[in-house]
Chain A
Amino acid sequence: MKRYEFNEVTTMQYIFLISGTQIGIGILSLPAQLADIANTDGWIAILIGWIISITASTIIIKTMEKHPQDTVFDLSHRYFGRIFGTLIHLAFVAYALLASITVVFTAIHITQVWILPNTPNYLIMILFMLPGFLITRNGVRVLGRYAEAVFYLTIWMPILIAIPLQKGTILYMLPILKEGWTPIFQAVKTTILSFLGFELTFVFYPFLKEKKHAIKAMVIANSISAFTFLLITVTCFIFFSPDETPSLIWPTLSLLKTIEFSFIERFEVIFLSFYLFVMSTTGIPYIFTTVFGMSQLIGKKDHTIVLLIAVCIFILTSFLYNPSFSHIQTMGSWWERYGLWGAYIFPVILFIYVSVAQWFRGGKKK
């Protein structure tokens, strides 16, 4: 029985959906954090984070494979009974909600700081919620197509960011491993959190059309993200030097300031406006997960009403509350702490639990 037949996504859409979720907010500040912790060796931490995130994604896929038509919400009810199942269901929804709030408010904050300093945040929120509503309403299939379209539309952006590489000093990358492996491992924690986004496999896996390519798709998605992270971090290090990078709040955006054309100035304004596309592919899957999980919890098949309520709450919140930069950072750190559990520890526990439970049930039958 296929429950989500009309909403299937292709392998390619799945890859872009996951990597689109991963690349978004974190990348703007990642080089600064890495340079702060591990200095010149920060980029090695990305590679280690890449391996860890691939491992975690594989574990998630392995878990989901046992019940290919189930999302994590169905799975939690199936294995943890009514009360615990609902609790886990709620926890995952809460996690997605936290993530979407963080992404949306960060996007608004960045927009206010860089592009529209005089526009009130609730107006920007209303503006952002329009495409958010339109795309989320139509379900995973449209989400996948959107991620795909945005990938093609934004493929020029990392190339453009890499332009300052030619003006940089490659010596800044040296020495390698100057303080041993300890700072690198400390930085790994930061990097694995910028890979957050693959945990949405928990929700999107049943919608994947060709499930045998799932692991391959996860590896490719993680690699696209890793490559982008690496490219931008290395560019920042080479251009600004690892010592200067931490002093910038958003080093990635500062890179853009150096790009100049004869016919256009302040290119970063245009770039950042376009960057909203990239941020939308991070925010919308999380909003979808929140709304989808919530409507499953109350037993509604169509998530439009829940989405409408969610959008109203978002707009109302922004009307009453305009988070400062430190609040947004706090939100981000909550998300990261929660994400460590949600994306790395929970899958392992779930995998072990499901395997053991299946083994038990199988044993009983025989």
Chain B
Amino acid sequence: MNSTQQLLTHSLDANEQTLRDYFTKTPDLVYCHLLIGEPKKRALLVYLNTLVDKNSINNNIIDPLLFETKQIHTIADIQLPIGSKSYTTKWEHVIQHLFQGETALLLDGDNHVLLLDTQGWPQRAIAEPQIESSLKGSHQGFIETCEKNIALIRRYLPHQQLKIEETTVGRRGHTPVTLLYLEDVAHPEVLQELRDRIEQVDVDTIVNTGELMQHIEDNPFSPFPQFLLTERPDAAVSNLLQGRIVIVVDRSPSVMIGPMTFITFFQTVDDYSTRWMIASFLRLLRLLAFFMAIFLPSAYIAALSFHYEIIPLNLLLTIGESRERVPLPPLLEAILMELAIEMLREAGLRLPAPIGQTVGIVGGVVIGQAAVEAGIVSNIMVVIVSLTAIASFIIPNPDMSESIRLLRFPMMIAASLFGLVGMVIGFMLIIGHLISLESLGTPEGSPFAPARLRDWKDTILRFPLWMMRTRPLSARPTQLTRQKKFRK
């Protein structure tokens, strides 16, 4: 459209015609003609009534304008009780701001437009985070509006070093994407890398943060997440303080954080608000859960199909007894049950809550006693599948939990083909992959390989807070002191 490149004219009618030509089939665009000032002068108020706060327009714009008694020469004479306003003469800006829910005020005989911030679209109230609940952390979660989300973060860090950079992604959607970082902590190279990658994204729009994550991640062929998606402001802030960069995508309730390391997906905010012994125990539990979720079914398959000699005799007899009536080989038995539980999970997730409970009851029967009594699977298998499922739900990060659940299947096949050797090779592949994986150019295997012993304080165990005086090095912070030594 050529007219958008052009400037406004001094004639109000011509300007209105340009707008009407541009916005065809746009019933929600309101043209409100007014006569303002003494003597009366024609003015035009334009806004998209689906994106504005009507109260604000009525009370703060129309009301004062109608009762204006001053003489209005130019648009700059108009005084309105709205803080955020700007002037422009370019159609391009007018249209862009109209789409953002602002109101344009045109005056006859003036080629300037007054743009007033009257944004107000349907939005959710700030609520408790749904996916990542926590015991002691804050109960505010991110919502779909970028400004609110930044406000939630700013409340934790009222500091001038918290820098905010805005950019837009998407040709049609113009999704506002905001980077937040601590300028004296975040590494400039990492930041530049992130900026470059976001700049390169050329898509229609970003509907959800997860899409942007996939567009900019280092290795799209990896099963593991390379960015953290969170809906918790406190988690975002704690990562900001470690020198990471927070990416807030408008219209999406999850916030992306990078660069991440593997172990950070096993940390929660609660870890830091609980006492260190309990927090360490929970960390160990999660690590154990990680191994169980990947290896438990495959260990069962390996032991039964290749190495029954490693099972002590008593246990072997019990297993044999319970498998007596089962016609399926261990691999099929395991895959059947694992698939059943995955389906249950997915069904429970997609169904509305009242029906979701039914799934739980039906599922409990399917993978429970009935299946055993029918002779399809063995008791031991049910125990193993349930344990594996619980273990995979312990992983605090949903993305990591999903990758782990996916890895279980190739591992089961490897175990059924090569027994323990297959499992060890699978483990080797996971390790080999993890250590070569990078997140924004920083190694994901850190602090284990490459080793940074100082960072081990906050990995497998969570050391007492007073010992964690420096920021972890994995995000390459440029300023290390986190706290002074104030305890004796």
**How many Å from the CB of A133 to the closest CB on chain B?**
9
Which chain A residues border B429 with CB–CB below 8 Å? 130-131, 134
- Give every chain B residue within 8 A of A270 (Cβ-Cβ): 310, 420
Nearest CB to that of A152 among chain B residues? B448
Q: Which residues of B contact A273 (CB under 8 A)?
A: 419-421, 423-424
CA distance A149 to B429 in the complex (A): 12
Stretch at the interface among B279-287, B363-371, B431-439: B431-439
Give the size range of A's interface with the partner.
35 or more
What separation, in Å, do the CA atoms of A145 and B435 have in the docked complex?
Answer: 6
**Interface membership of chain A positions 15-28, coded 1 if the CB is closer than 8 angstroms to chain B and 0 otherwise:** 00000000000000
- A contact residues vs B (CB 8 Å cutoff): 10, 12-13, 111, 115-116, 119, 123-124, 127-128, 130-131, 134-135, 138, 142, 144-146, 148-150, 152-153, 262-267, 269-270, 273-274, 276-277, 280
Q: Which residues of A are found within 8 Å of B122, using beta-carbon distances?
A: none
Across the interface, B451 reaches (CB within 8 A) one of A12, A153, A266, namely A12
A-B contact count (CB 8 A): 101
Quick check: is B343 within 8 A (CB to CB) of the other chain?
A: no
Chain B residues, CB < 8 A from A150: 431
User: Across the interface, which residues of B come within 8 angstroms of A266, CB to CB?
Assistant: 307, 309-310
The answer to whether A269 and B425 touch across the interface, beta carbons within 8 angstroms, is no
A123 to chain B, nearest CB (A): 8
A138 to B449, CA, bound (A): 14
Check A146 against B435 for contact (C-beta < 8 Å). Answer: yes
Q: Establish whether residues A277 and B310, one from each chain, have CB atoms under 8 Å apart when the complex forms.
A: no
Contact A149 B312 (CB under 8 A): no
Complex CA distance for A124 and B420, rounded to whole angstroms: 12
Interface size class of B (residues with CB under 8 A): 20 to 34
At the interface, yes or no: B91 with Cβ under 8 Å from chain A? no
Cβ-based interface call for B428 (8 A): yes
A138 / chain B contacts, CB cutoff of 8 Å: 436
A149 and B420 contacting across the interface, CB-CB below 8 Å: no
Known: A149-B445, A149-B449, A266-B307. A131 touches B425 (CB 8 A): yes
Residue of A nearest to B429 (CB): A131
Inter-chain CA distance A152–B436, complex, in Å, is: 17
Scan B391-432; emit 1 where CB is below 8 A from any A CB, else 0. 000000000000000000000000001111111110011011
Q: Measured between alpha carbons, how far is A106 from B191 in the docked complex, in Å?
A: 48
From A123, A145, A265, A276, give the contact of B424 (CB < 8 A). Answer: A276
Cβ B421 vs Cβ A276 within 8 A: yes
Q: How far is the CA of A10 from the CA of B451 in the complex (A)?
A: 9
B306 to A: closest C-beta gap in Å: 7
Is B419's CB under 8 angstroms from A145's CB?
A: no
| In the assembled complex, B311 has its CB within 8 A of some CB on chain A | yes
Among B418, B419, B424, B448, chain A packs the most CB atoms within 10 A around the CB of B424
Closest Cβ of chain B to A119, distance in Å, is 7
Shortest beta-carbon distance, B161 to chain A, in Å?
30
Pair B421/A277 contact, Cβ less than 8 Å: no
Instruction: Report whether A142 and B310 are in contact in the complex, using a CB–CB cutoff of 8 Å.
Output: no
| Given A13-B451, A267-B310, 15 further pairs, Cβ under 8 A | A127-B418, A130-B429, A131-B432, A134-B429, A145-B435, A148-B451, A149-B435, A149-B449, A152-B451, A153-B431, A264-B312, A265-B309, A274-B424, A276-B424, A276-B428
Q: What distance in Å separates the Cβ of A244 from its nearest Cβ neighbour in chain B?
A: 25
Most buried by A among B306, B417, B424, B428: B428
| B432 & A134 in contact (Cβ 8 Å cutoff) | yes
Q: Are A148 and B450 in contact (CB under 8 A)?
A: yes
For the complex formed, measure the closest distance between the CB of B347 and the CB atoms of chain A, giving whole angstroms: 35
Query: In the complex the two chains form, what is the Cα distance from A132 to B422 in whole Å?
Result: 14
Whether B425 pairs with A130 at a CB distance below 8 angstroms is yes
Task: Give the distance to chain B from A303, nearest Cβ to Cβ, in Å.
Answer: 15
Q: Within 8 Å CB of B431, what residues of A?
A: 146, 149-150, 153
Is B297's beta carbon under 8 Å from chain A? no
A265 and B423 form a contact (CB under 8 A): no
Central interface residue in A123, A131, A135, A280, by most chain B CB within 10 Å: A131
